[in-house]
Amino acid sequence: MRLSNVLRVFAMIPVFAAANASQVLAPLSVQDEAFAISVEMSAEQKGLPACYAYVEENYKRDPRPHVKSCYGEFLLYGKAWGAPDGRNKEGVALLEEAQKEGSANATRALAWLYINGYFVPKDPQRGIAYLKSACDAGQVEAMAILGNVYRSGVVGVPIRLDEAEKWIRRAACEGKPKYLDDLAADYEKGRGLTQPNLTRACQLYYESHIFGNRAAATANLQRLAMAGVPGAARAHHLAVLWDSLYGEIYTTKQIKESVGLLTKDYPDDAEVLVALGRVYRAGNYYKDNKKAAELFRRAAEMGSDDARCEQAEMLAEGIGEKKNPSAALAILRELEVKDNPGALRLLSYYHYWGALKGTDVVKDPAKAFAYAKRAAGAGDLLGQVWLGKCYEHGIGTEVNYGLAARYLRAAGVRGAKKSYIEAMKLINHAK
């Protein structure tokens, strides 16, 4: 549930007294991941009134900080969120109480209030400080909101699309890609720029698509392609190939159309060559490992680190290339320094299985977890799946069903449908 969407329904909002703005923020933690996800699921599947009843029931049974913050936020917005009206002041008090107890969720919620002067005296500086504190604690919605603040230039913060992209991308990596579309629209319209940058806009719409915002991103790419915008057709067909790797159903004719167009029009585009190579390797519509290896080789010669990562995996497995674990590891070590998402994920995989025989990569659950965490943070879909599995089964870390559900759900939003289903089941096991 996004505050920016909900707040549009308010024309007049009362202001209540708040604590001194100079107070020191309490140490924060992202608490109760499982409860946070269960609240989102309840709102999506049953509607806000039923979701409010679920939150209220949990609050009465166990008013721990995160549950308290969720309940306070429902009371804050009343009927707009399916809760009774007239309890706004109580909602603010619960949020402040939960924030002092270390709830990153409450800190994020209060940040938005102070930035805009909703229900509390307007204090943008305090709001931004709260928002950054929640981001540092890993609160995903806070990352998205901070990115939105930088892209819109509200509350006296100058527009900085580089900072906006940094935080919006981090939120997208955690399963909240919506603001990537907004950022793409800024480049399309030239907001915060001296002039529009349609090439960058198309690329960001494509990234928004692969991070899970399929409907809106696809509609925008198709709109730009019909208008003849350079790069829009390329991005649209790349999105089709991405989806084809993760279970979206296309006819063979559709895939051939995308493969044919990209092959013909972008023979020297490294990103396109990598995408084509992945399709040939996956075998869902085509199966030609030699062709895949050739495409990856060409892209690698153009400087593509993603292509080199694909080469490393094929060398490690002996697929389309002569098996050479040592050569594969040499490539992965080079890419590790660059934080290449795929390389980090492969190192996690090989440290879990100890599968690179003849090298110094041995079975090491702690390293498997560490690499999976880096891969997921860098936006690798399968890295998110691996990290979720590490938390689910206690691989190199303590079992945490809430965090397992968080990362499996993030991967599920992007197309890994089995992971989404697994995340839903894990919620029932979380404490």
Task: Tell me which DSSP letter residue 192 carries.
Answer: T
My answer on whether 124 and 181 are in the same domain is no
- When pLDDT is cut at 50, 70 and 90, the band that residue 30 belongs to is low
Which pLDDT does position 12 carry in this prediction?
35
Work out the mean pLDDT of the chain and round it to a whole number: 88
- When pLDDT is cut at 50, 70 and 90, the band that residue 153 belongs to is confident
Number of domains composing the chain? 2
CB 379 within 8 A of CB 166: no
- Asked if residue 171 belongs to a domain, the reply is yes
Please say which residue of 206, 230, 254 terminates a domain.
Answer: 230
pLDDT of residue 5 exceeding 60, the answer is no
My answer on whether 125 and 188 are in the same domain is no
Of 22-26, 225-229, 275-279, 374-378, the one with minimum mean pLDDT is 22-26
Containing 384, the helix (H) or strand (E) segment is: helix 381-393
pLDDT of residue 361 exceeding 90, the answer is yes
- Asked if residue 17 belongs to a domain, the reply is yes
- Asked if residue 295 belongs to a domain, the reply is no
Query: Could you tell me if residue 27 is left (phi over 0), alpha (psi between -120 and 50 degrees) or otherwise beta?
Result: beta
Q: Which residue type sits at 69?
A: S
- Asked if residue 384 belongs to a domain, the reply is no
- Asked if residue 166 belongs to a domain, the reply is yes
Of 252-266, 297-311, 406-420, the one with minimum mean pLDDT is 406-420
- Asked if residue 198 belongs to a domain, the reply is yes
CA of 173: how far to CAs of 239, 341, 407, 422, in Å?
17, 11, 9, 19
Q: How many helices, marked H, and strands, marked E, lie in the chain?
A: 23, 0
pLDDT of residue 3 exceeding 50, the answer is no
My answer on whether 197 and 112 are in the same domain is no
Q: How far apart are CA 294 and CA 310, in angstroms?
A: 11
Please say which residue of 99, 125, 155 terminates a domain.
Answer: 155
- When pLDDT is cut at 50, 70 and 90, the band that residue 247 belongs to is low
Please say which residue of 129, 155, 181 terminates a domain.
Answer: 155
Containing 372, the helix (H) or strand (E) segment is: helix 365-377
My answer on whether 137 and 171 are in the same domain is no
My answer on whether 150 and 3 are in the same domain is yes
My answer on whether 138 and 9 are in the same domain is yes
Tell me the per-residue pLDDT of 117-148, one tens digit each, with 9 for 90 and over. 999 999 988 999 999 999 998 898 999 999 99
My answer on whether 56 and 119 are in the same domain is yes
Query: Residue 142 belongs to what domain range?
Result: 1-155
My answer on whether 134 and 170 are in the same domain is no
pLDDT of residue 182 exceeding 50, the answer is yes
Tell me the per-residue pLDDT of 157-166, one tens digit each, with 9 for 90 and over. 888 888 999 9
My answer on whether 119 and 178 are in the same domain is no
My answer on whether 186 and 207 are in the same domain is yes
- Asked if residue 184 belongs to a domain, the reply is yes
My answer on whether 76 and 191 are in the same domain is no
Which pLDDT does position 38 carry in this prediction?
81
pLDDT of residue 407 exceeding 80, the answer is yes
Q: How far apart are CA 197 and CA 178, in angstroms?
A: 20
Q: Which residue type sits at 159?
A: I
Domain with residue 46: its CATH number is 1.25.40.10
Q: Which long-range contacts (CB under 8 A, 24 or more apart) does 159-168 make?
A: 159/191, 159/192, 160/192, 161/186, 161/187, 161/192, 161/193, 167/135, 167/143, 168/143, 168/144
- Asked if residue 238 belongs to a domain, the reply is no
Tell me the per-residue pLDDT of 314-360, one tens digit each, with 9 for 90 and over. 999 999 999 999 999 999 999 999 999 999 999 999 999 998 988 99
